[in-house]
């Protein structure tokens, strides 16, 4: 039976009064209101003992704490929190259990109450959730996808601009590089990639946004940097413009980086670089990660079996399946007895033209289809643009 628009206490009172007045048997009432006889008699006996107050829900809190914790334990937890103000109670609880495995510690919720009592927590501003989108590449193992981005420049206390370039393994969240660069050009970024590949091997894919030097508005979004990645054996992939959630793990990591090393910035650029290095060590090997079941990225990450020998190789094509053309110094290719402009990023490189329909060819650079060539000219792949406000 529907309860109408009554509160829980009113519903219970209605059942009890009907039974006391004798207008219905308990069996009929239970059938009518679709409740168990045990529940109905519980309300009846509470009403006899306590009146209407007995029909209210009882507090589920224990009459006395199950565990009492010593002052020393509470002080230890508070001291740990003061040393790691950006860490939540779950992370701190993991570290306390590691340091004192024989002791019983409060749960994360209880720790939060302690921290709140001593003004060691701040309320988070609740943000609306962003709808998830389909992943660009599957994340099934180490080195499936590395994420790269510039965190965003800021000034240190001595007036120097710090520009952190960060690279993480998307599967394990392992921080591969956190490096200050003087410029954002390919000549500065590629040496960082080269060193990371030599130390950790090659990933399958490198995910980035569309800003330089990672992406461009040109054909296939290719840049000189992404061309080098393809020549190294790494597939570049780009999130859609205006969709940072497609690289959400790396974006969230940047918030942690900012909170730990740049809020506020250090007094000098040298101190800032040192703080970033110390943060990388702590983030990888000391700081528990909730997405990793409270283990550390360093305990999950393994280097790639794809060893980097430092040699860049241009892609090769099967001439039985593709028409092969070299991109001229003016960034054109010649086909159908006329020139077609591609992109300056491919000057001097060979591309493959694969016929898919009559007078329609897909344009490939290595494994990437970067556009189509028809009698009307070159068509870029459609990319969802940023929503206009």
Stretch 51-80: mean pLDDT: 76
The verdict on 149 and 295 lying in the same domain is yes
pLDDT tens, 102-143?
888 888 888 888 888 888 887 665 544 433 333 466 788 999
pLDDT of residue 65: 56
The verdict on 39 and 106 lying in the same domain is no
Tell me the range of 110-124, 164-178, 208-222, 246-260 where mean pLDDT is highest. 164-178
Confidence of residue 181 (pLDDT cuts 50, 70, 90): very high
The verdict on 156 and 279 lying in the same domain is yes
Of 323, 136, 350, which Cα lies nearest the Cα of 227? 350
Stretch 343-369: mean pLDDT: 94
Stretch 302-312: mean pLDDT: 96
pLDDT of residue 315: 95
Neighbours of 155 (CB within 10 A): 12
pLDDT of residue 25: 86
Mean pLDDT, rounded, of the chain: 87
The verdict on 355 and 242 lying in the same domain is no
Confidence of residue 33 (pLDDT cuts 50, 70, 90): confident
Does 372 map to a domain? yes
Tell me the range of 133-147, 240-254, 338-352 where mean pLDDT is highest. 338-352
CA distance 6 to 91: 44
- Give first-to-last CA distance, the chain, whole Å: 49
Q: Where does the chain have alpha helices with state H?
A: 8-21, 26-33, 37-50, 71-83, 89-99, 108-117, 186-200, 224-232, 248-261, 269-285
Does 238 map to a domain? yes
Does 360 map to a domain? yes
The verdict on 358 and 332 lying in the same domain is yes
Per the CB < 8 A criterion, the answer to whether 169 and 159 are in contact is: no
Number of domains the chain is built from: 4
The verdict on 261 and 329 lying in the same domain is no
Confidence of residue 361 (pLDDT cuts 50, 70, 90): very high
The verdict on 95 and 156 lying in the same domain is no
Does 172 map to a domain? yes
Lowest pLDDT segment from 222-226, 270-274, 327-331, 384-388? 384-388
142: Cβ contacts below 8 Å, ≥ 6 apart: 169, 171, 172, 300, 301, 302, 303, 304
Q: Is the peptide bond before 213 cis (omega within 30 degrees of 0)?
A: yes
Helix (H) and strand (E) counts in the chain: 10, 14
The yes-or-no verdict on residue 335 having pLDDT over 70 is yes
The yes-or-no verdict on residue 72 having pLDDT over 90 is no
- How many percent of the chain have pLDDT more than 70? 90
Does 211 map to a domain? yes
pLDDT of residue 257: 93
Does 208 map to a domain? yes
The verdict on 170 and 266 lying in the same domain is yes
Does 234 map to a domain? yes
The yes-or-no verdict on residue 23 having pLDDT over 90 is no
pLDDT of residue 384: 45
The verdict on 258 and 183 lying in the same domain is yes
Stretch 269-291: mean pLDDT: 94
The yes-or-no verdict on residue 60 having pLDDT over 70 is no
The verdict on 198 and 110 lying in the same domain is no
CA dihedral (281, 283, 288, 294) positive or negative: negative
- How many percent of the chain have pLDDT more than 90? 53
The verdict on 182 and 268 lying in the same domain is yes
Lowest pLDDT segment from 53-57, 267-271, 285-289? 53-57
Does 1 map to a domain? no
Place of tokens 């506020």: 264
Q: Is the pTM of this model over 0.85?
A: no
CA dihedral (49, 7, 10, 27) positive or negative: negative
CATH code, domain carrying 210: 3.30.420.10
pLDDT of residue 314: 94
* Residue 295 belongs to domain spanning: 145-299
The verdict on 45 and 92 lying in the same domain is no
Stretch 194-204: mean pLDDT: 97
């Amino acid at each position: 039976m529907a309860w109408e628009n009554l509160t829980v206490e009113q519903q219970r009172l209605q059942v009890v009064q009907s039974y006391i007045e004798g207008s219905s048997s308990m069996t009929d009432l239970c059938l009518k209101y679709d409740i168990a006889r045990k529940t109905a008699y519980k309300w009846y006996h509470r009403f006899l003992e306590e009146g209407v107050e007995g029909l209210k829900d009882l507090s589920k809190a224990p009459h006395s704490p199950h565990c009492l914790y010593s002052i020393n334990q509470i002080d230890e937890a508070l001291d740990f929190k003061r040393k790691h103000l950006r860490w939540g109670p779950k992370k701190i609880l993991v570290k306390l259990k590691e340091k004192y495995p024989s002791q019983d510690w409060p749960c994360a919720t209880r720790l939060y109450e302690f921290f709140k009592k001593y003004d060691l927590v701040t309320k988070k501003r609740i943000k609306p959730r962003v709808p998830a989108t389909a992943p660009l590449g599957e994340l099934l193992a180490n080195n499936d996808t590395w994420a790269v981005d510039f965190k965003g420049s800021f000034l240190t206390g001595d007036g120097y601009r710090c520009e952190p370039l960060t690279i993480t393994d998307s599967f394990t969240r392992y921080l591969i590089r956190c490096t200050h660069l003087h410029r954002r050009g390919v000549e500065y970024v590629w040496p960082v990639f080269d060193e990371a590949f030599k130390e950790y091997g090659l990933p399958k894919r490198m995910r980035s946004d569309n800003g330089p030097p990672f992406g461009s508005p040109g054909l296939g979004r290719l840049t000189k940097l992404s061309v080098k990645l393809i020549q190294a054996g790494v597939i570049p992939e780009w999130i859609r413009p205006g969709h940072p959630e497609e690289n959400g793990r790396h974006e969230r990591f940047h918030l942690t980086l900012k909170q730990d090393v740049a809020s506020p910035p250090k007094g000098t650029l040298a101190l800032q670089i040192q703080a970033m290095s110390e943060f990388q060590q702590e983030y990888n090997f000391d700081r528990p990660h909730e997405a990793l079941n409270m283990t550390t990225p360093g305990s999950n990450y393994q280097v790639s079996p794809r060893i980097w020998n430092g040699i860049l190789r241009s892609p090769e094509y099967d001439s039985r399946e593709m028409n092969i053309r070299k991109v001229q110094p003016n960034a054109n290719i010649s086909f159908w007895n006329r020139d077609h402009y591609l992109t300056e990023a491919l000057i001097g490189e060979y591309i493959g033209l694969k016929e898919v329909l009559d007078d329609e060819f897909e344009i490939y650079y290595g494994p990437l289809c970067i556009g189509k060539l028809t009698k009307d000219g070159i068509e870029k792949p459609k990319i969802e643009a940023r929503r206009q406000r």
